Amino acid sequence: MGSSPLIIVAIDGGAASGKSSTSRLLADRFNLLHVDTGSFYRHITAELLRRGVPHADRPALLAALPGLKFSTRLEGRSARMLVDGQAAGDEIRDQRVNDHVSHYAAVPEVRQVLLGYQRGQTEVARQHGFRGLVMEGRDIGSVIFPDADFRFFLHADPAERAKRRAAEGRQDSVAERDRLDSSRKTSPLVVPAGAIDVDSTFLTLEQVVDKLAALIAPKLP
């Protein structure tokens, strides 16, 4: 008998909408590989800033991208991207990266260089015995896995999301991040057609997870 097909869960949403916490808990509940694509863009941003390659210098950026070699290391149930064999540190969450990540992510060639790597996480999940993967980001259900078994879009009131960021001790303009990500020409932040829209403003994390899990569970043997 062949192995069971992998289940793919796509979770999109703006900054501080609850994507990461929800995805991690779903990964734990169903033995799925957790893939945080936002950390990929943050890692690339930090690396290009370290190399002195500004997002507005298109020739320099296009010259630098082919030299970025991606691989994956597992940390528990989470996929950690390595660039040239190196994992990113806490710097990918600092203010400098916050201020620049949406600009680098808006460059079509940056998104293209990550496309195959992101889709390749299904093979990482398969090789390590996961039942599938849950991937979070801003274009997962619309671009990366438009045929995912489940596509969810999480959102919450901007004031509530700003409060969540502050509670984490992070200064992140969620409204500005959303504006930049929604207005870019390539793979903008959108609610994918047919995706299940979940408003988490007045829900606890556990309630959000239970809501999504109730839909996912019947699909798994």
**Is 17 annotated for ligand binding?**
yes
Q: Is there a binding annotation on residue 18?
A: yes
Q: Which two tokens stand for residue 78?
A: 């989470």
Select from 178, 79, 81 the least CA-distant residue to 138.
178
Token pair listed for 26: 């779903």
Residue 20 annotated as binding site: yes
Spatial distance between the Cα atoms of 200 and 194, rounded to a whole number of angstroms: 18
**Rounded to the nearest 5°, which phi and psi values hold at 170?**
-115, 135
Q: Is 13 marked as binding a ligand? A: yes
Measured between alpha carbons, how far is 61 from 54 in angstroms, rounded to an integer? 7
Q: Is 14 annotated as a binding residue?
A: yes
Structure tokens at 123: 């093979």
* Residue list for the binding site: 13-21
* Residue list for the binding site for ATP: 13-21
